A and B are shown apart, each in its own frame.
Chain A
Amino acid sequence: MVKRNTSKKNLQEIMQEEGLCKDDLLNYLRQMLEIRYFEETVYELLGKNLIKGASHLYAGEEAVAVGAISALRDDDLITSTHRGHGHCHARGDSLAKTPQEKQEHLNKMMAELCGRATGYCKGRGGSMHIADVERGNLGATGIVGGNIPVATGAALAVKMQNQDRVVLCFFGDGASNTGNFHESLNLASVWNLPVVYIVENNLYGMSVPFAKASKLPDVAARACAYGIPGEVVDGMDVLAVRAAVRKAVERARRGEGPSLIECKTYRWFGHSRSDPCVYRTREEEEQWKKCDPIVVLEERMKAESIATEEEILDVERRAATAIKTATDFALNSPLPHPSELYQDVYAPSKTTAADIEAERQLRQRVRSDPSMRQIPYWQAINEALREEMDRDPRVFIMGEDVGIYGGAYGVTRGLIEDYGPERVRDTPISEAIIGGAAVGAAMAGMRPVAEIMYVDFTPLAMDQIANQGAKNRYMFGGKTIVPMVIRTEGGTGRSIAAHHSQSLEALWLHFPGIYVVMPATPYDAKGLLKAAIRDDNPVMFIEHKMLYKVQGPVPEGDYLIPLGVADVVREGSDVTVVAYSRMRYRALEAADILAKEGISVEVIDPRTLKPLDLETIVNSVKKTGRLVGVTEAYKTGSFISELFTLVNEVAFDYLDAPMVRVAGADVPIPMSEPLEAAAIPSTEQIVAAIRSIL
């Protein structure tokens, strides 16, 4: 299936075949020159310490970005890599229609490299994270292979929106050995997604030659594993790249699925500025520089009298001027102000004070109305999914066994029948691509609800959800949203041991940019899931496997529970107990037991751990002077530990006793029932903890 494109056609023939004119070729030459000069300037600025940090230069590989992107339509999408200046320029330049717009684009690029407030991402991303999401550049990533799932998810969004747009996904030969590559190509092929994967094989993954990292000489050969076309092209020939990519793009646009194109190329500089290139010979470098894509194109144009020496010199001069202008602009631009540090971590909340009050009243009604219907937790979630899919065609579900099986715990049962396999998607067992496809689909306009069967499996998707999903908005200067929900479940209770029983919310709390929601009741589950789906931020929605059958009052129809509002489940005056998810029930049992002794316990369920309603908890602590925190999670580094630190910071003087944790044991959850039960807090332990500080 691998084809090797070794076209020896002359330019006139190619121009005719590709429908190109002389200006197009001069345009490609200009873009390549601008990338080259840009990179040379960056190299110089790095040396002068005017650009800080890492910068992976694209010089030598210009023909790949320019040739590939020349095959795109303006509404197509791309994803880029840590060596991404070429992609960013080719895409930005092709979208800029006037000379002024083109210059502004270069200015923003150089300013971003220099960490300036005027940069594409306000200086947040720099060299490795340039993006222009609004115009279809879904950004670069610092994780090798990190954007392959994102591109795949964007292609899924395009397909689900019935559009004929195409996603171009750039990555290097190094990325082709990551799991993301394989999970992504597999999903894209099985779902026939409109994405073209472009491997820029510059022969070295940092210092390791591809030959040492892969038995197959060509990455493109791996396409056969996924039943898709794979092609090797001369990555130093802009027109060869263009021709190959154009065909793959057209194929994708026709709905025939993904392709893999490998462009053999070479980087002029080392991996980064600190790389002395000891792993390659000077002779090898000389050989490759003889096929400099810029020189090759210039020579061919002159040789075939398509452009004069003078015309080419003019292009070179204008390119140099443009880069000089951009550099001056960047270095004269203001640096971002530290006061903006926290801007854009999260998309702004749409919740109003009226929403919070309305929910409070609804909650009171739910608690006091004995005639309200009772439904189980799983059904409340199922209802939320149905209502949101009915309301918003962008909402869809994907995950392992969410279709005919109805989800491992039956939450999605009946949905595939009513909404069809397009909106209720069974995925391969590939957590990274489930997470990454959700990120890409969300950035490209959908509202995915992706299910990871057990929270124990979420670390398999951690890079995608945390490094891309949670951070993209901030890294990209607040110019994107990633409105996705990852539904998962955790907790002990079914004797399924250390890989299916954990409570890993603390892992997810740790990353800025993602919310963590943990409902305990059917009412909370429905209202919070609907709010999470409508929120513009990524949300980790962690259910509890032992609560799915718990019945509770749930209002009919639509209602939302604002994220970041705690529930004072039971009022009391002697001690505050914060407990969430299943532990809420045990805390209430403990409160009942102690009430008989005249001890008044206030139980607060934060419901959302992030955003956290610290105010409600602190106000309670100010009242009672005592705080007990209950969590099923490992004691070390748990949410409760963080909560105590927060309380200590703002309410130390109100504490009348040490804060006490009742937490899961620091052991891998054992299978055998008595051991499993001992690994998490019991009601008796909560009672004892409360007594210990009274």
Chain B
Amino acid sequence: MAVEVILPVLGETMDEGTIIKWFVDVGQPVQKGEPLYQIETDKAILDVDAPASGVLRKIFYPAGSKIPVLTVVGLIADPNEDVSVYEQGGLEPSKTISETVAAERRPMAEGPRKGLIPPRVFASPRARKLAAEHGIDLTRLKGTGPGGRIVEQDVRAAIAAMEAEIKEPALAPAAVEAVPSPSESKPLAGVRRIIAERMSTSAHTTAPVTLTTEVDATNLVQLRTLLKEQLEPTLGFAISYTDILVAIVARALREYPYMNVRLVQDEIQQVAQVHIGVAVDTERGLLVPVIRHADQKGITEIARTLRDLVARARSGKSLPDDLSGGTFTITNLGMYDVDAFTPIINLPECAILGVGRLREVPAVYQGQVCVRQMMVLSLTFDHRLVDGAPAARFLQRIKQLVEQPYLLLA
């Protein structure tokens, strides 16, 4: 008998989804429980398993379709079964299917997706209030109160753990124990959610100001070309602009320690170490590996460290310390032809530097119009912690070091 394939409800707040791809073509056999197609919700990318064994006879919505939940998207039936009555029947789910899905939505319902419906978190009002104040996600805590209720003490412990590592994981808190298994699609959702939470906390709690400055990077380009030519054979890789920029920013932070601060409760803490995070685009989403003591490392050492960090991040094998404890973040979108942008501060840090694309433009240089390599730097800083003029001086120093990179030797 033909079984309709529906777009299931995979979370309490889910009301629509986009089909990313079908794993099975029309006419091919499917086994019940095997992944049939993949959808993207507002939170995650998830596989939907075949509801029955048979042949995928119809696909009503191809990849790319954005459709409401409970819509019938395909049909599984015996190879010879007459399914003509189901033609264009994919707009409304039949009653039986609705009921099946309704059953599946019940918290107690058995099914492969039940874990995706967030259970009610039992936490005291006091714990909830405290968690909200500190941006703690209660679903990630284990309660020690009566009946497993999360109480104030549990939240305090989480906050202490977070602060003890000064370093709250760049974008993925190391305190999180429930690292999802890489073989499933959950990790994507997890990282995505953390990103969402942290970005919105930053956007809602900081007083961000973005300063932009255009930099003549001709000398930087020259330096990078030289380093690449000279070192690539021995290193086995090319020194990147980012590597040099890390060194420059680390130097500037050492000289302007008021930018190397973080806000912890009501205290502005100046941090002795300079740990620079670099935003990296990975399959799992945005991650920010941290180069520790960047101000004490040479460019090659920075480059090596960064490559290792990025490799681990991209392969999902980051060590806990890889992603935590930064005091400043660099994010580079130049390779995507972005000139300037307004990055979001990576809390609890005070500022973030956005690097724009390098491009050749006619510029006035030493009284003559000539071709120069220009680049825009965007510094977003938290005005609660530092004022505009000091932040501008810091950016000006970076500009100076980019334009005259030999000053790094001074």
Q: For B149, list chain A residues within 8 Å (CB).
A: 657
Q: Is the CB of B146 within 8 A of A655?
A: no
Give a binary string over A678-694; 1 marks a CB under 8 Å from any B CB, 0 the rest. Answer: 00000000000000111
In this assembly, does A653 line the interface, its C-beta being within 8 Å of a C-beta of chain B?
yes
In this assembly, does B182 line the interface, its C-beta being within 8 Å of a C-beta of chain A?
no
Give chain A nearest CB distance to B150 CB in angstroms. 10
Cα separation A652 to B126 with both chains bound (whole Å) = 8
Give chain B nearest CB distance to A148 CB in angstroms. 52
Within 8 A of A (CB), among B335-383: none
A-B contact count (CB 8 A): 32
- Among B124, B126, B146, B149, residue most surrounded by chain A Cβ atoms (within 10 Å): B126
Instruction: Contacts A625-B124, A625-B152 given; indicate if A653 touches B129 (C-beta within 8 A).
Output: yes
Q: Is the CB of B125 within 8 A of A654?
A: yes
Within 8 A of A (CB), among B141-160: 145-146, 149, 151-153
Cα separation A653 to B129 with both chains bound (whole Å) = 6
Q: For A692, list chain B residues within 8 Å (CB).
A: 146
Give chain A nearest CB distance to B123 CB in angstroms. 9
Cα separation A27 to B124 with both chains bound (whole Å) = 74
Q: Is the CB of A653 within 8 A of B152?
A: no
Give a binary string over A647-660; 1 marks a CB under 8 Å from any B CB, 0 the rest. Answer: 00000111111000
Cα separation A625 to B124 with both chains bound (whole Å) = 9
Give chain A nearest CB distance to B151 CB in angstroms. 5
Q: For B224, list chain A residues within 8 Å (CB).
A: none
Q: For B125, list chain A residues within 8 Å (CB).
A: 652-656
Interface bin, chain B: 10 to 19
Q: For A653, list chain B residues within 8 Å (CB).
A: 125-126, 128-129
Q: Is the CB of A657 within 8 A of B128?
A: no
Q: For B3, list chain A residues within 8 Å (CB).
A: none
Give chain B nearest CB distance to A658 CB in angstroms. 8
Q: For B126, list chain A residues within 8 Å (CB).
A: 625, 653-656
Give chain B nearest CB distance to A662 CB in angstroms. 16
Looking across the interface, which residue of chain A has its beta carbon closest to that of B127? A656
Q: For A693, list chain B residues within 8 Å (CB).
A: 145-146
Q: For A656, list chain B residues within 8 Å (CB).
A: 124-127, 145, 151-153
Instruction: Contacts A625-B124, A625-B152 given; indicate if A657 touches B129 (C-beta within 8 A).
Output: no
- Among A625, A656, A693, residue most surrounded by chain B Cβ atoms (within 10 Å): A656
Give chain B nearest CB distance to A429 CB in angstroms. 51
Give a binary string over B149-176; 1 marks a CB under 8 Å from any A CB, 0 the rest. Answer: 1011100000000000000000000000
Cα separation A625 to B126 with both chains bound (whole Å) = 7
Q: For B153, list chain A residues within 8 Å (CB).
A: 656
Give chain B nearest CB distance to A71 CB in angstroms. 67
Give chain B nearest CB distance to A598 CB in angstroms. 14
Cα separation A657 to B153 with both chains bound (whole Å) = 12
Looking across the interface, which residue of chain B has its beta carbon closest to that of A657? B124
Q: For B151, list chain A residues within 8 Å (CB).
A: 625, 656-657
Within 8 A of A (CB), among B274-316: none
Within 8 A of B (CB), among A393-448: none
Looking across the interface, which residue of chain A has its beta carbon closest to that of B149? A657
Looking across the interface, which residue of chain B has its beta carbon closest to that of A648? B125
Give chain B nearest CB distance to A130 CB in angstroms. 49
Looking across the interface, which residue of chain A has its beta carbon closest to that of B132? A653
- Among A654, A657, A693, A694, residue most surrounded by chain B Cβ atoms (within 10 Å): A657
Cα separation A597 to B128 with both chains bound (whole Å) = 28
Within 8 A of B (CB), among A613-648: 625
Cα separation A653 to B152 with both chains bound (whole Å) = 11
Give chain A nearest CB distance to B365 CB in angstroms. 62
Give chain B nearest CB distance to A107 CB in angstroms. 55
Cα separation A19 to B125 with both chains bound (whole Å) = 79
Give chain A nearest CB distance to B130 CB in angstroms. 9
Give chain A nearest CB distance to B36 CB in angstroms. 46
Give chain B nearest CB distance to A572 CB in angstroms. 16
Cα separation A328 to B352 with both chains bound (whole Å) = 76
Give chain A nearest CB distance to B407 CB in angstroms. 54
Looking across the interface, which residue of chain B has its beta carbon closest to that of A622? B126
Q: For A652, list chain B residues within 8 Å (CB).
A: 125
Give chain A nearest CB distance to B279 CB in angstroms. 36
Looking across the interface, which residue of chain B has its beta carbon closest to that of A653? B129
Give chain B nearest CB distance to A52 CB in angstroms. 43
Cα separation A657 to B124 with both chains bound (whole Å) = 6
Looking across the interface, which residue of chain B has its beta carbon closest to that of A621? B126
Cα separation A655 to B125 with both chains bound (whole Å) = 6
Q: For A657, list chain B residues within 8 Å (CB).
A: 124, 145-146, 149, 151
Q: For B129, list chain A residues within 8 Å (CB).
A: 653-654
Looking across the interface, which residue of chain A has its beta carbon closest to that of B151? A656
Cα separation A653 to B127 with both chains bound (whole Å) = 8
Give chain A nearest CB distance to B199 CB in angstroms. 26
Cα separation A692 to B151 with both chains bound (whole Å) = 13
Q: For A694, list chain B residues within 8 Å (CB).
A: 146
Give chain A nearest CB distance to B145 CB in angstroms. 7
Q: For B128, list chain A residues within 8 Å (CB).
A: 653
Cα separation A531 to B24 with both chains bound (whole Å) = 86
Looking across the interface, which residue of chain A has its beta carbon closest to that of B155? A656
Give chain A nearest CB distance to B66 CB in angstroms. 40
- Among B125, B128, B151, residue most surrounded by chain A Cβ atoms (within 10 Å): B125
6 contacts between A and B (CB under 8 A): A652-B125, A653-B126, A655-B125, A655-B126, A656-B126, A656-B127
Listed in ascending order, the chain A residues whose CB lies under 8 Å from chain B are 625, 652-657, 692-694
Q: What 3 pairs across the A-B complex have the smallest Cβ distances?
A: A656-B126, A653-B129, A656-B124
Other 11 A-B pairs with CB < 8 A, given A625-B151, A655-B126, A693-B146: A652-B125, A653-B129, A654-B126, A655-B124, A656-B124, A656-B125, A656-B126, A656-B151, A657-B151, A692-B146, A693-B145
